[in-house]
């Protein structure tokens, strides 16, 4: 269908539309003719029923005359309305293939017993929901038109069907004890519809033949017109396109045999071909100009690239110098600081009597030494990250041991500030595979920050649990300290940045702690979140993969 030509597509669409139209017309015509045939049969059935009622009434009017002899003596001859009606119906059935029955649900003779269709009509007449019943039904395996009308008891019928009930009438049957106006039975007329259906089928066949002829003629006419007025001119345009694709711009479509939009299209194409000829004639000169411009631009780009490469080398050398300088200085500072902290711990553990001032001075030395050592460690770690020299040493360990170590190492800072430090590791926390030293550095930095920005008498809490939604380890450090303003939350993980510039003076610090935490967390393919309310406290939550995930 995609590769089919316009003529074929148009012809198929036209055939489908015409066939659908014919089918709808035939279906509508068939339905209309059936309704008309049913209306005609109903009218005939009503007339025939009226004629049979007239026979019945005639017999009723002349019943006394028939049964009275010439001398005036009553002599029942056995001829009455029911017998006359049924006899005439038999004669009519013989000549017309019609079936006329007089039936009831409780007849005097079994032959007059109502069938299901007639019994349904009797129920409708008794309920008063209908005065006649008709329609196309199946009778003895054939499609027929059925008509049923009621027969009501009249005064002249009381001699045979009235009171007293059970008394034998002149015909030898017991009376039913009925009153005038009671439903005594129905007239059932069954009419064959073969002649009507045959006429409908012949008419449908003629319509199909006629419309088939019209469809063929219309299709041939449309095919011819499309070929002459559309496809042939388009073929000429297509040939011109192929010539242009081959490099021949000397095409002329002025003599094309087309009208209307096709002619306009051909003229516009002819104009486009002329413009292409002009463009092609100047193309080589334009290419030479553009080539020279590109060569000049390439030379300028190459010169700029060389300058950028030189600047990049200088920047790399300067960056390496800075990193090496920070690393050396941090290493040189960390060695004496470690010694100072160790000697203060030895001094504190000695049993010699010390004055309060001496003890306070040593605690101050230890606290500041510990903070300075942490600051130096952060600087060294950041220098390693920038230099690309930091690698993860992954090994299994228990978070309970790591949190215990952090709690012991930073407990004295919290104690110095009268801050309550608590740590909880949930029982469902698994053994994780990660870098022990870097995870410890993450927790220490978060806890140290929390202690530093929490006022005297405050609380700092460490909680480690397994987040089943993320399937990661959750390390949460919360405090009730000064908090962070909302507008500063986006900057706290930047290097050498604190939420408030006055924090440098009030709380100290380099502003590297959270930057180091973020770098180390991302090295573990984890994430960090912060929730803070100014003057009420902050909560930092780190999510670290456990390293136990299934591939």
21 part of a folded domain? no
Tokens of 456: 């005297």
Say how far apart CA 392 and CA 382 lie, in whole Å. Answer: 14
Gap between the Cα atoms of 144 and 191, Å rounded = 6
Instruction: List, for residues 292-301, the tens digit of each pLDDT value.
Output: 888 888 888 8
Confidence of residue 526 (pLDDT cuts 50, 70, 90): very high
Q: From CA 152, how far away is CA 178, in angstroms rounded?
A: 10
Tokens of 233: 């001119």
Nearest-angstrom CA–CA distance, 479 and 448: 11
What is the overall mean pLDDT for the chain?
79
Determine, yes or no, domain membership for 121. Answer: yes
Mean pLDDT value across residues 438-443: 92
Query: Above 70 in pLDDT, residue 360?
Result: no
Q: At what angle do helices 436-452 and 356-387 cross, to 10 degrees?
A: 130
How confident is the model over 64-89, as a mean pLDDT? 75
Residues 325 and 410 reside in one and the same domain: no
Q: Is residue 537's pLDDT more than 90?
A: yes
d(CA 49, CA 56): 10
Q: Kindly state whether residues 99 and 119 are assigned to the same domain.
A: yes
Residue range 135-185, pLDDT digits in tens: 888 888 888 889 999 988 887 777 788 788 888 877 778 888 888 888 888
Same domain, 47 and 169: yes
Domain count, the chain: 3
**Which is more confident, 401 or 282?**
401
State mean pLDDT over 312-331. 69
Pair 47, 188 in one domain: yes
| 335 plus 411 within the same structural domain | no
Residue with tokens 């202690």: 451
Examine the domain organization and report whether 321 and 349 are in the same domain. yes
Instruction: Give pLDDT tens digits for 228-246.
Output: 666 666 676 667 666 666 6
Spatial separation of the C-alpha atoms in residues 519 and 522, rounded to whole Å: 5
The label of the residue with tokens 């089918």 reads: 23
- Helix or strand holding residue 425 (H, E): strand 420-425
Q: Quick one: 320 and 439 in the same domain? A: no
Which of 338, 362, 390 lies at the terminal end of a domain, its last residue?
Answer: 390
> What per-residue confidence (pLDDT) applies to 419?
93
Query: Would residue 2 count as lying in a domain?
Result: no
Higher per-residue pLDDT: 368 or 153: 153
Instruction: Give the tokens for residue 304.
Output: 């700029």
Of the residues 370, 390, 410, the one at which a domain ends: 390
pLDDT in the model for residue 388: 60
Is 224 a domain residue? no
Residues 6 or more apart whose CB falls under 8 angstroms from that of 442 comprise: 475, 517, 520, 521, 542
Q: What is the pLDDT of residues 469-496, one digit of tens each?
A: 999 999 999 999 999 888 888 888 886 5
Report the phi/psi class of residue 260: left, alpha or beta, with left for phi > 0 and alpha for psi in -120 to 50. Answer: left
Q: Do 398 and 529 fall within a single domain?
A: yes
Q: Which of 344, 367, 390 is a domain's end point? A: 390
The predicted structure's pLDDT at residue 551: 44
Q: What is the pLDDT of residue 48?
A: 82
- pLDDT score at 530: 94
Q: How many CA atoms lie less than 13 Å away from 206 in the CB half-sphere?
A: 7
> Is the same domain home to 57 and 184?
yes
306 and 415 share a domain? no
Q: What is the pLDDT of residue 504?
A: 42
344 and 362 Cβ atoms separated by less than 8 Å: yes
In a domain, 456, yes or no: yes
- CATH number of the domain to which 68 belongs: 3.30.450
**Whole domain around residue 97: which residue ranges?**
33-200
pLDDT band at 92 (very low <50, low <70, confident <90, very high): confident
Quick one: tokens of 382? 């950041």
Q: Could you give the 3-state DSSP secondary structure of residue 52?
A: helix
Given a cut of 70, whether residue 189 has pLDDT beyond it is yes
pLDDT of residue 454: 92
- Evaluate whether residue 117 is within a structural domain: yes
- Say whether pLDDT at 23 is over 90: no
Half-sphere exposure of 260 (CA within 13 A, CB side): 4
Are 362 and 416 in a shared domain?
A: no
Answer left, alpha or beta for residue 76, where phi above 0 means left and psi between -120 and 50 means alpha: beta
Q: Residue 172: which region, alpha, beta or left (left: phi > 0; alpha: psi -120 to 50)? A: left
The winner for highest mean pLDDT among 90-94, 267-271, 274-278, 498-502 is 90-94
Per-residue pLDDT for 320 more than 80? no
Instruction: Write down the pLDDT at residue 508.
Output: 47
Residue 192 and residue 97: Cα distance in Å, rounded?
7
Q: What is the CATH number of the domain that holds 526?
A: 3.30.565.10
Residue 1 has pLDDT above 70, yes or no: no
Q: For residue 233, report the phi and psi dihedrals to the nearest 5 degrees.
A: -60, -40
User: Quick one: pLDDT at residue 533?
Assistant: 92
pLDDT above 70 (res 386): no
The pLDDT of residue 105? 78
Q: How confident is the model at residue 323, as a pLDDT?
A: 64
The top-scoring range by mean pLDDT among 95-109, 197-211, 333-347, 390-404 is 390-404
Q: How many residues does the chain have?
A: 551
Q: What does the pLDDT average to over 74-82?
A: 73
Q: What is the DSSP letter of 429?
A: P
Residue 370: per-residue pLDDT: 66
SS (H, E, C) 85-138: HHHHHHHHHHHHCCEEEEEECCCCCHHHECCHHHHHHHHHHHHCCCCCEEEEEE
Q: Are residues 384 and 397 in the same domain?
A: no
Backbone phi, then psi, for 94, in 5-degree steps?
A: -65, -35
Average pLDDT over residues 433-459: 91
Q: How many CB atoms lie within 10 A of CB 16?
A: 10
Is residue 364, in this structure, part of any structural domain at all?
yes
Whether residue 530 is contained in a domain is answered as yes
């Amino acid at each position: 269908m995609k590769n089919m030509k316009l003529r074929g597509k148009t012809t198929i669409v036209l055939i489908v539309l015409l066939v659908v139209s014919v089918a709808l017309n035939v279906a509508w015509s068939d339905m209309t003719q059936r309704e008309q045939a049913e209306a005609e049969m109903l009218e005939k059935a009503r007339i025939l029923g009226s004629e049979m009622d007239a026979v019945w009434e005639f017999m009723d009017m002349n019943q006394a005359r028939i049964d009275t002899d010439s001398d005036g003596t009553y002599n029942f001859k056995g001829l009455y309305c029911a017998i006359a009606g049924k006899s005439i119906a038999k004669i009519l059935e013989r000549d017309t293939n019609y079936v006329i029955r007089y039936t009831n649900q409780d007849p005097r003779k079994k032959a007059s017993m109502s069938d299901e269709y007639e019994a349904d009509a009797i129920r409708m007449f008794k309920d008063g929901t209908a005065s006649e019943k008709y329609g196309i039904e199946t009778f003895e395996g054939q499609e027929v038109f059925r008509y049923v009308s009621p027969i009501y008891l009249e005064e002249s019928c009381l001699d045979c069907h009235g009171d007293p009930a059970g008394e034998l009438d002149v015909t030898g049957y017991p009376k039913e004890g009925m009153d005038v106006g009671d439903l005594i039975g129905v007239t059932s007329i069954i009419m064959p519809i073969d002649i009507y259906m045959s006429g409908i089928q012949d008419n449908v066949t003629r319509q199909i033949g006629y419309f088939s002829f019209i469809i063929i003629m219309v299709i041939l006419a449309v095919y011819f017109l499309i070929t002459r007025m559309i496809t042939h001119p388009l073929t000429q345009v297509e040939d011109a396109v192929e010539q242009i694709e081959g490099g021949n711009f000397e095409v002329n479509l002025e003599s094309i045999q087309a009208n209307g939009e096709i002619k306009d299209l051909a003229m516009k194409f002819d104009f486009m071909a002329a413009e292409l000829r002009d463009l092609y004639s100047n193309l080589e000169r334009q290419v030479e100009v553009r080539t020279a411009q590109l060569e000049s631009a390439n030379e300028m780009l190459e010169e700029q690239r060389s300058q950028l490469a030189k600047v990049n080398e200088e920047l790399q050398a300067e960056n390496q110098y800075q990193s090496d300088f920070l690393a050396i200085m941090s290493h040189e500072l960390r060695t004496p600081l470690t010694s100072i902290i160790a000697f203060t711990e030895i001094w504190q553990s000695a049993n010699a009597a010390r004055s309060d001032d001496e003890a306070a001075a040593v605690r101050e030395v230890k606290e500041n030494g510990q903070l300075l050592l942490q600051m130096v460690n952060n600087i060294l770690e950041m220098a390693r990250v920038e230099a690309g020299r930091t690698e993860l040493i992954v090994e299994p360990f228990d978070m309970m041991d790591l949190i215990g170590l952090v709690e012991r190492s930073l407990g004295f800072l919290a104690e110095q500030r009268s801050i309550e430090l608590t740590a909880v590791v949930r029982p469902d926390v698994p053994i994780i595979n990660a870098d022990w030293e870097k995870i410890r550095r993450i927790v220490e930095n978060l806890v140290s920050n929390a202690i530093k920005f929490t006022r005297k008498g405050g609380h700092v809490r460490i909680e480690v649990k397994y987040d089943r939604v993320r399937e990661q380890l959750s390390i949460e450090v919360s405090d009730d300290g000064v908090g962070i303003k909302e507008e500063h939350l986006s900057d706290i993980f930047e290097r050498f940045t604190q939420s408030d510039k006055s924090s440098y003076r009030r709380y100290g610090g380099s502003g590297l702690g959270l930057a180091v935490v973020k770098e180390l967390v991302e090295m573990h393919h984890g994430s960090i979140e912060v929730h803070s309310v100014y003057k009420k406290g902050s909560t930092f939550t780190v999510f670290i993969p456990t390293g136990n995930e299934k591939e």
